Structure 1
């Protein structure tokens, strides 16, 4: 099946960004209760690389497919299908936010899986770490987060007010870890 990545987010209006988000069809993993629980032998490295038994998964379509099945709960990260629930080791965050744009009072982020996530009440920005080594994360879905890479963090910092806060969809987020 051919894959058409979404267009560059900088040129999209908020309505077009929202349409791109709505067009993403995800499997209904919340409805599945697989009997078999095991280990996928997969790791998502801190740089966003997915590996299986230590070897990188180099096909972006495979990473996108696995990412659509990923959930996080109190016990960790899981790939969930109707038949099985397999653990996944995650070194930092499940995704990397690689780009962002500000449109009409909203902040939209592109992930390393080409997904678009619009920050707001359902997708919060979270500041972690400390003043010396801050890290920003974006709530994505099903308990998973994306860490903002350096350039995306810098793009966001340029939008911050004097108190290092940004707003998206009516919600104010601090870029300073508490």
Structure 2
């Protein structure tokens, strides 16, 4: 598997093209019998662990992330055509670690690079949501099939700055023709 491209050099059009060309396995069609626990965990900061030790190879994390699925009961599994293993997820399975913005106001498009290298553009299909929690707002980006990315704090501050600079009725951001209110 090739390493992800350098996010800084990509345009929003490049990101859209790469995201469209990224063919994921059809995990939603695989329904093997449950086989047990993977002994894996995804920490709140996006670090993947196996048997308590961090998985340090980015290519391994990326490979596992491509077979991750959210179940109807809210749990997470790693699934292949022949096995299904539980995986613990502390918050969200992905973290949005970088944001690229083109345009302003209603014409803006916001794209994100996840900790796995995956690229996602916020849109009606990939909405942003903001959940109020005891320690403050937690922003999320829908990635696919019920899987979300927690937006890293520095990226959230970029979003908040854009939201407060806008002249909309309430604080929020536009991306790909959709408005996302900043509050939960």
Tell me what 2:61 maps to: 63
Q: What value does the CA root-mean-square deviation take over the aligned residues? A: 1.6
Name structure 1 gaps, 5 residues minimum: none
The CA deviation string for residues 85-108 of structure 1, in whole angstroms up to 9 with x for no partner, is: 111100000000000011242110
Q: Which residue of 1 aligns with 2:182?
A: 175
How many residues are treated as equivalent by the alignment?
175
Q: Determine whether 1:155 maps to 2:158.
A: yes
Give unmatched runs, 5+ long, in structure 2.
none
TM-score where L is the length of structure 2: 0.89
Rounded Cα–Cα distance in structure 2 between residues aligned with 1:131 and 1:102: 29
Partner of 2:102: 103
Counterpart-to-counterpart distance in 1, 2:161 and 2:134: 17
Which residues in structure 2 correspond to 1:16-165 (within 5 Å)? 16-75=14-73, 76-104=75-103, 105-130=108-133, 133-160=136-163, 161=166, 163-165=170-172
**Displacement over 4 Å in runs of 4+:** none
Distance 1:33 1:130, change over 3 A: closer
Q: Shift in Å at residue 130 of structure 1?
A: 4.6
TM-score scaled by length of structure 1? 0.92
